[in-house]
Amino acid sequence: MKCSALMKIISFVMVLLAAQTYYTQSCLGAESTHAKIAELTKHSLTLPAPKDRRARPLVVILADNAGTETTDFVIPYGVLKESGAADVVTISTEPGTVELMPALQIRADMTIVQFDASTPLGADILIIPAMDRADHPVLLDWVRAQSEKGATVVSICEGARVIAHAGLLEGKAATTHWSGLEEMAEAFPGTTWVHNQRFVIDGQVMTTTGISASLPASLALVEAIAGRHAAELTAQRLGLSTWKIDHDTSAFTLTADHILLAAGNWLAVWRHEVVEMPVDDGFDEISVALMADAWSRTFRSEALATNISGAVRSRHGLLMETEAGSEPGRYVLAVYAGTPARALDAALEGIAGRYGAPTADFVALQFEYPRR
């Protein structure tokens, strides 16, 4: 993978920086702030009617070619496509390959320039994953323009950084990955940063907690678009029983043991390995994203998709670039064949079996996922 080494270094630095932060309720402010949070515990998003006499909403999932979080991007795509509730388009900031972090490469349906030319009224719903260049001017200008055209904006995990830099969270309540809450409170004091909710809805803006929140948040979006029954049917097919807002932020804390584990895994280069995931046309994009993302967060392995043809399409049409595959010494990992919502559990079980339970727990911490 072109940027895997760089992404690992960036990820490791971020972990060390996160170790300097402490979980505290002080960033929530005074009693008036707590009162506002209490008003924002609703589960559903109220959406305006689709623009331009569309039969159903047009959802844009945005990617920055330089680096976009794997699961944040792929899961909303897979869930919304599976639901059939909306028209879904993937957009990249530039032509060519989109580097997903920490693993996989895809090509979007079109660029932001092409989208603007074909759809001048803009998206009905804009989904923004975590991105490496959260303050990139071209990215921010386009996000602001879509908001000004009336798009409902949904950030996944640290996609909140993008919309905060774009000015869309000023005066609103929001949440983000547990490790960034205090930093974001300091950088954007005009926003009420909320703990203990999987997602936060304030007007036409929705934000979520860490990476694993992409599944429940996407189902909440399906519910807002097509109703509870449609969301329940989609959840059943995906293998998810609930998409509740309940969450315990305090359960996720970076400890000295985590830092020592990450450093030990990273520095023991003789134990590093490439994990191959053979994929064919029609693969389940949610399962592949969860598996690749998890295995690439161990600090001992990086996952890549392989297929001799060089590129394959997922069951819902996402174009993924692959490598030819099968080099001696690589660990070959079969793509999880169960329901997509169980893929992360399966990945964590596999990681625990290969690298030990502490590494699996560290990966779950990064996902902000309460490991079973």
Nearest residue to 19 via CA among 257, 368, 250, 357: 257
Query: What is the residue-averaged pLDDT of the chain?
Result: 90
- Rounded to the nearest 10 degrees, what angle do helices 70-83 and 214-226 cross at? 30
| Predicted structure pTM score | 0.91
Q: Which fold would CATH assign to domain 21-238? A: Rossmann fold (3.40.50)
User: What's the CA gap between 145 and 24, in Å, rounded?
Assistant: 35
Nearest residue to 347 via CA among 372, 317, 315, 321: 372
pLDDT confidence of 258, banded at 50, 70, 90? very high
Q: Over the stretch 343-364, which tens digit does the pLDDT of each residue have?
A: 999 999 999 999 999 999 999 9
Q: Which CATH architecture has domain 4-12+254-367?
A: 3-Layer(aba) Sandwich (3.40)
User: What's the CA gap between 194 and 38, in Å, rounded?
Assistant: 10
Is residue 107 within 8 A of residue 252, CB to CB? The reply is no
Q: What is the pLDDT of residue 36?
A: 55
* End-to-end CA separation in angstroms for the chain: 31
């390959």: which residue's tokens? 97
Q: What is the pLDDT of residue 15?
A: 46
Q: Is 253 left (phi over 0), alpha (psi -120 to 50) or beta?
A: beta
Do domains 4-12+254-367 and 21-238 share one topology? The answer is yes
> Is 9's pLDDT higher than 50?
no
Is residue 321 within 8 A of residue 311, CB to CB? The reply is yes
Nearest residue to 345 via CA among 277, 289, 265, 290: 290
Helices of type H across 20-111: 31-39, 70-83
Helix (H, G, I), strand (E, B) or coil at 194: coil
Query: What's the Cα-to-Cα distance from 164 to each of 34, 206, 266, rounded to whole Å?
Result: 21, 12, 32
> Is 326's pLDDT higher than 70?
yes
* Domains of the chain, residue spans: 4-12+254-367, 21-238
Nearest residue to 33 via CA among 159, 215, 172: 172
pLDDT confidence of 329, banded at 50, 70, 90? confident
| Percent with pLDDT over 90 in the chain | 83
Helix (H, G, I), strand (E, B) or coil at 312: strand
Q: What is the pLDDT of residue 360?
A: 98
Residue 60: φ, ψ to 5°: -105, 130
């719903």: which residue's tokens? 125
